[in-house]
Chain A
Amino acid sequence: MGKKKYKLKIDRERCKGCLFCAEACPLKALSISDDVNGRGLKYVVLSSPEKCTKCGLCVVMCPDCAIEIVEEE
């Protein structure tokens, strides 16, 4: 049995672009998008996925449960 892999899943429709997650990220892997979501708000994207260690601090800070850490399929 191999080691399980996890990934960061960002729901762009839930995100309101407050950037609390990007501020909390110790490796600055998150940034704001160029386009907008269905509600007309800019949303956060994982701009440097190679930096992300899935520490979960962005999940702790998210007011809208837009970021989740899930097992990779």
Chain B
Amino acid sequence: MGKTYTRPNSMKDVLTHYCPGCGHGMVHRIICEVIDELDVRETTIAVAPVGCAVLAYDYWNFDTTEAAHGRTPAVATGIKRIHPDKLVFTYQGDGDLAAIGTAETIHAGNRGENISIIFVNNGVYGMTGGQMAPTTILGQITATSPYSRRSEKEGFPLKIMEMMAVLPGVTYLERTMLTSPKEVIKTKKAIKRSFKRQLDKKGFSMVEILSPCPTYWGLSPLESIKRIENEVVATYPVGVIKEDK
């Protein structure tokens, strides 16, 4: 058998419901590739969020459960404590993780639970119609900030990763983006490192991925990735934010 580059085995052969140019499809595939490479498909338990990725269990060919809105890290904590030898990760959007689930995220990190969080940040509530999220950047127009987000009225964008970095229980934080093949490969490396650290019992880790939402940004898919490079990165700088030995 020669080398070929095809759909990963952990991904089911179904069409996804995501919009053209949505980052979720890419992140789903990257996670499946990492799970195939680590050969842990049989011992992985994922927790899906509420949001656009709510149907992730239809696309992943490994055990996946569903949690109430924002309570994903709490459900993952319970699963990991019962099954300490399984790979347990949560997949969350910014509305799920940074708004309604802030408490669960911060306390799971503070307790130093040995889980991985994959945080897909597109700056809007994609599932419900593009409303403003805590992570919406200043100057961005959304359905509920028609005059654009202003710091004096709507506050500043919430930088979850920088907040989590001060907690001693958190051991690995990295922010990446999905703008070019180079950055997508960096994202894959970050997710792989996070999963490996969990299997080595090194503690809580989180990877934030800056993802495009062409539908609710009102841009074409290609303009969306340009916007990440030109505007979003200024608020959310990419790179390793924290890595303990």
Q: Contact residues of A with B, CB < 8 Å?
A: 4, 6, 13-14, 16-20, 23-24, 41, 56-57, 59-65, 68-71
Chain A residues with CB below 8 A from B222, complex form: 18-20, 23
Q: Is B4's CB under 8 angstroms from A63's CB? A: no
Min distance, Cβ A10 to any Cβ of chain B, angstroms: 12
Tally the A-B contacts, defined by beta carbons under 8 Å. Answer: 67
Decide: A69 and B6 in contact? CB cutoff 8 A.
Answer: yes
B26 touches A63 (CB 8 A): yes
Closest to B211 in A: A63
Point out the residues of chain A lying under 8 angstroms from B4, CB to CB.
6, 68-71
Once the chains bind, are A17 and B5 in contact (CB under 8 Å)?
A: no
Instruction: Tell me, in angstroms, the Cα distance from A41 to B15 when the chains sit together.
Output: 14
B18: Cβ under 8 A from any A Cβ: yes
CB within 8 Å of A: which of B157-213? 180-181, 184-185
B184 contacts across to A, CB distance below 8 A: 60-61
Contact check: which of B1, B11, B21 meets A20 at CB < 8 Å?
B21
> How far in angstroms is the closest Cβ of chain A from B225?
7
Interface bits B28-39 vs A (CB < 8 Å: 1, else 0): 010000000000
Bound Cα distance from A3 to B16, whole angstroms? 36
Distance in angstroms from A15 CB to nearest chain B CB is: 9
Q: How far is the CB of A28 from chain B (nearest CB, A)?
A: 14
B130 contacts chain A at the CB level, 8 A cutoff: no
Return chain A residues, CB-CB under 8 Å to B20: 16-18, 41
Instruction: Return chain B residues, CB-CB under 8 Å to A24.
Output: 180-181
What's the Cα separation between A63 and B31 when bound, in Å? 12
In the A-B complex, list the 4 residue pairs whose CB atoms are closest, starting with the nearest: A63-B25, A16-B20, A18-B21, A18-B221
Q: How near does chain B come to A36, taking the closest CB pair, in angstroms?
A: 12
The residue that B5 contacts in the complex, of A13, A14, A56, with Cβ under 8 A, is: A56
Complex Cα–Cα for A71 and B2 (A)? 7
Q: Which residues of B contact A18 (CB under 8 A)?
A: 20-21, 214, 221-222
Expressed in whole angstroms, the minimum distance between the Cβ of B4 and any Cβ of chain A is: 5
CB pair B7–A68 under 8 Å, yes or no, is yes
User: How many Å lie between the Cα of A44 and that of B149 in the bound state?
Assistant: 36
Q: Which residues of A have CB within 8 Å of B7?
A: 65, 68
How many Å lie between the Cα of A61 and that of B5 in the bound state?
12
Please state if A65 and B29 are interface contacts (CB–CB under 8 Å): yes
Residue B23 at the chain A interface, CB threshold 8 Å: yes
A56, B184: Cα distance in complex, Å: 13
